[in-house]
């Protein structure tokens, strides 16, 4: 492993600038400061805070950053364009905003594709080079470290290589520390990126960086191949946020560099924070974490196929590209109709049960799971129901009450209010209980009535709370009517568990899921089962 040296390979985050160009993503100044702190905790080298000359929020961010952001590892960078055509860099208000942003690093965006120079900037080749030269030289003379993002570099290089090279040379000669080759439209494939980077390096000798978008689904691969070809500065965003299909996911790049290319790019010990930081930033940006995201997703090391589990049981490396703990993730087993005995055995291990000598029981449980999944169950999303099934089969059923009946009515009252009322009758530890409760819906009423009926025997049930309720109507099978699958999430303030019920009747399906939820909760609380219950 090549040791961590933040100067020899820059990890440059542009979440707060290019990441916010993602549709639907908008951050307050406070959010941006929080994201910056998370990125600094992770240990990236540079955090691009925004474009100070483009809007008041970004200007405020840089203002507040001076007093509110104390970064330990990262340096803050301000982003902006080269001077406008026909102007003097020192007098251009955009350039002034960069100069005054209070950062030691600025990153300029410049055109490097002649088509863009002529059609978007509506100027000529020479003036664009002058804009680059003047702006870089001005900011460099002002004591800034200057990086230059060469927009549309790869498209420009393929059409007019001499001009694209002239951009790199002009920027480097004027004092740009790094010239960042941008695949702005995100359409490049890795082979081409590698070749162009090698050629540009050989032709200019400039320090190069890479900035890739993900429109061809290759942004991370393109960034990694660019590093292999010699760039020493990599840009990307947290979780790959960004314009259109996003930017290169900096977290995958970091993990790839550290675990596959033998290059430490974070301070020692920080790679294990990757999952935590990725999820914390999703929280700030109000994004639902993608479970399938490489390295950091909750499914990234989740094994569903029975054959995979049977090999993983012998050696996890057989179906994992890295040890999940290295990036702060965990291996998980998923129980479903695709499971085998090995899956169940490993799942048992996760919950502290040694099932290595329980081949027959595992076979029975597998049969139950497969036939129930064929009828509409999905244990993957209901691990508490699976755990009850497993424990029942292996250590014998534990029941806390005997159900006599349940009933729900839904009533529209004068004035239009709709109220549900449920009655549950059961016997627990020799006493018969009849409880009636109201709720804002039938499931809420049933849940309350069930807990009311049990509260004398099990007062701890008061701590449980229904926190999630999902319903899915499944197609009718083999000529039967459609069935309803209900998933119930229950919490006790410290943890959460999920249970399932399936029935043609939505209330009956909900009742089954609720019973599992309460039974699981009681087992968790270590409550004494009712030996007479059945």
Ligand X SMILES: CC(=O)SCCNC(=O)CCNC(=O)[C@H](O)C(C)(C)COP(=O)(O)OP(=O)(O)OC[C@H]1O[C@@H](n2cnc3c(N)ncnc32)[C@H](O)[C@@H]1OP(=O)(O)O
User: In the complex, which residues of this chain contact ligand X (CB under 6 A)?
Assistant: 18, 51, 54-55, 81-82, 84, 109-111, 120-121, 131, 151, 184, 243
Say how far residue 35 (Cα) sits from the centre of its chain.
14
CB of 283 to ligand X, least distance (A): 25
Report the residue from 16, 47, 101, 109 that binds ligand CC(=O)C(=O)O according to the rule CB under 6 A.
109
Nearer to ligand X, 211 or 451 (CB): 211
Site map 4..33 versus ligand CC(=O)C(=O)O, x via CB under 6 A: --------------x---------------
Q: Are 137 and 174 in contact (CB under 8 A)?
A: yes
Decide: 459 and 466 in contact? Cβ < 8 Å. no
In the complex, minimum distance from the CB of residue 239 to ligand CC(=O)C(=O)O, in angstroms, rounded to a whole number: 17
Helices (H) and strands (E) in the chain, counts: 17, 16
**Binding at 54: pick from ligand X, ligand CC(=O)C(=O)O, none (beta carbon under 5-8 Å per type):** ligand X
Touching ligand CC(=O)C(=O)O, residues 181-200 (CB under 6 A)? 182, 184
**Is residue 211 close enough to count as binding ligand CC(=O)C(=O)O by CB under 6 A?**
yes
H/E element, 376 = none
Question: CB nearest ligand X: which residue?
Answer: 54
Helical segments of 43-123, H only: 56-68, 93-99, 114-119
Q: Is 117 exposed, middle or buried (0-12, 13-18, 19+ CB in 10 A)?
A: buried
Angle at 369 between CA 365 and CA 374, to 5 degrees: 150
In the complex, least distance from residue 78 CB atom to ligand CC(=O)C(=O)O, rounded to whole angstroms: 14
Residues pairing with 433 in the sheet: 426
Number of residues this chain uses to bind ligand CC(=O)C(=O)O (CB under 6 A): 8
C-alpha–C-alpha distance, residues 26 and 3, integer Å? 36
Q: Which of 191, 192, 235, 178 is nearest to 212 (CA)?
A: 235
**213 binds, options ligand CC(=O)C(=O)O, ligand X, none, Cβ within 5 to 8 A by partner type:** ligand CC(=O)C(=O)O
Helix (H, G, I), strand (E, B) or coil at 36: helix
Cβ-based neighbours of 197, under 8 Å, separated by 6 or more: 181, 208, 210, 225, 226, 229, 230, 231
10, 145, 207, 213: residue in contact with ligand CC(=O)C(=O)O (rule CB under 6 A)? 213
Nearer to ligand CC(=O)C(=O)O, 14 or 343 (CB): 14
Nearer to ligand X, 84 or 425 (CB): 84
Q: In whole angstroms, what is the distance from residue 276 CA to residue 189 CA?
A: 31
Backbone phi, psi, residue 76, to 5°:
-85, 140
Question: Nearer Cβ to ligand X, position 111 or 293?
Answer: 111
CB atoms < 10 A from the CB of 363, how many? Answer: 12
Shorter beta-carbon distance to ligand X: residue 13 or 515: 13
Residue 110 touches which of ligand CC(=O)C(=O)O, ligand X, none (CB < 5 to 8 A by kind)? Answer: ligand X
Beta bridge partners of 421: 409, 438
CB of 18 or CB of 393, closer to ligand X: 18
Contacted by 141, from ligand X, ligand CC(=O)C(=O)O, none: CB < 5 to 8 Å by type: none
Query: Residue 211 touches which of ligand X, ligand CC(=O)C(=O)O, none (CB < 5 to 8 A by kind)?
Result: ligand CC(=O)C(=O)O
Segment 475-494, which members bind ligand CC(=O)C(=O)O (CB under 6 A)? none
Give the closest residue to 40 by CA, choosing from 27, 29, 49.
Answer: 49
Q: Please, what is the minimum distance in Å from the beta carbon of residue 32 to ligand X?
A: 14
Least separation in angstroms between CB 102 and ligand CC(=O)C(=O)O: 22
Report the partner that residue 420 touches, choosing among ligand CC(=O)C(=O)O, ligand X, none (CB closer than 5 to 8 A by kind): none
Q: Which does 195 bind (CB under 5 to 8 A by kind): ligand CC(=O)C(=O)O, ligand X, none?
A: none
* Phi-psi category of residue 528: left, alpha or beta, with phi > 0 → left and psi -120 to 50 → alpha: beta
Asked if 251 and 296 touch (Cβ cutoff 8 Å), the reply is yes
Q: If binding is defined by CB under 6 A, does position 149 make contact with ligand CC(=O)C(=O)O?
A: yes
Q: Is 503 in the site for ligand CC(=O)C(=O)O (CB under 6 A)?
A: no
Minimum CB separation of residue 211 from ligand CC(=O)C(=O)O in Å reads: 5
Using CB under 6 A as the binding rule, whether residue 155 contacts ligand CC(=O)C(=O)O is answered as no
Shortest distance (Å) from residue 134 CB to ligand X? 11
Shortest gap between Cβ of 110 and ligand X (angstroms)?
5
> Is residue 214 within 8 Å of residue 240, measured between CB atoms?
yes
Nearest C-alpha neighbor of 338 from the set 361, 311, 366: 366
Q: How far apart are CA 512 and CA 392, in angstroms?
A: 16
- 151 lies in the site for ligand CC(=O)C(=O)O, by CB under 6 A: yes
Nearest to 184 by CA among 122, 256, 242, 120: 242
Residue with the two structure tokens 């951050």:
27
- Classify burial at 398, counting beta carbons within 10 Å of its beta carbon; exposed 0-12, middle 13-18, buried 19 or more: middle
- Which residues are near ligand CC(=O)C(=O)O by CB under 6 A? 18, 109, 149, 151, 182, 184, 211, 213
């Amino acid at each position: 492993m090549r040791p961590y040296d933040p100067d020899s390979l820059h990890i440059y985050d542009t979440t707060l600038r290019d990441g916010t160009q993602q549709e639907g993503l908008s951050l307050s100044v406070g959010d941006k400061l929080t994201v910056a702190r998370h990125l600094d905790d992770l240990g990236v080298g540079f955090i691009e805070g925004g474009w100070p000359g483009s809007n008041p929020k970004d200007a405020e961010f840089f203002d507040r950053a001076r007093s509110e952001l104390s970064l330990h590892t990262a340096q803050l960078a301000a982003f902006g364009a080269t001077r406008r055509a026909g102007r003097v860099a020192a007098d251009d208000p955009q350039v002034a905003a960069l100069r005054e942003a209070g950062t030691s690093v600025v990153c300029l965006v410049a055109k490097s594709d002649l088509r863009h120079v002529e059609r978007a900037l509506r100027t000529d080749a020479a003036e664009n080079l002058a804009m680059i030269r003047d702006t870089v030289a001005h900011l460099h003379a002002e004591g800034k470290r200057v990086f230059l993002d060469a927009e549309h570099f790869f498209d420009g290089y393929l059409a007019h290589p001499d001009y694209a090279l002239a951009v790199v040379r002009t920027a480097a000669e004027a004092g740009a520390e790094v010239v960042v080759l941008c695949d702005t439209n995100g359409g490049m494939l890795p082979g081409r990126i590698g070749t162009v980077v090698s050629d540009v390096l050989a032709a200019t000798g400039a320090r190069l960086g890479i900035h890739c978008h993900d429109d061809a689904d290759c942004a991370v691969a393109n960034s990694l191949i660019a590093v292999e070809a010699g760039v020493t500065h990599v840009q990307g965003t947290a979780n790959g946020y960004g314009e259109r299909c996003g930017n290169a996911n900096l977290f995958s790049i970091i993990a790839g560099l550290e675990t596959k290319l033998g290059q430490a790019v974070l301070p020692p010990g920080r790679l294990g924070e990757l999952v935590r930081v990725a999820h914390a930033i999703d929280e700030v940006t109000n994004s639902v974490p993608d479970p399938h995201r490489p390295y950091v997703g909750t499914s990234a090391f989740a094994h569903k196929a029975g054959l995979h589990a049977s090999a993983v049981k012998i050696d996890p490396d057989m179906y994992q590209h890295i040890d999940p703990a290295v990036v702060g993730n965990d291996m998980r087993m998923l129980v479903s109709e695709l499971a085998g005995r090995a899956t169940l055995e490993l799942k048992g291990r996760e919950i502290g049960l040694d099932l290595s000598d329980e081949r027959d029981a595992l076979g029975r449980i597998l049969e139950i799971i497969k036939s129930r999944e064929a009828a509409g169950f999905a244990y993957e999303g209901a691990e508490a129901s699976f755990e009850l099934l497993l424990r029942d089969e292996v250590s014998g059923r534990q029941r806390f009450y005997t159900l006599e009946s349940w009933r729900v009515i839904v009533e529209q009252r004068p004035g239009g209010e709709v109220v549900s009322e449920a009655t549950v009758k059961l016997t627990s530890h020799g006493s018969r209980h009849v409880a009636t409760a109201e709720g804002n819906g039938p499931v809420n009423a049933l849940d309350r009535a069930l807990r009311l009926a049990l509260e004398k025997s099990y007062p701890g049930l008061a701590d449980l709370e229904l926190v999630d309720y999902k319903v899915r109507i499944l197609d009718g099978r083999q000529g039967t009517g459609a069935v309803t699958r209900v998933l119930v999430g229950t919490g006790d303030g410290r943890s959460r568990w999920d249970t399932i019920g399936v029935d043609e009747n939505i209330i009956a399906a909900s009742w089954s899921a609720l019973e599992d939820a309460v039974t699981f909760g009681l087992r968790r609380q270590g409550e004494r089962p009712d030996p007479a219950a059945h």
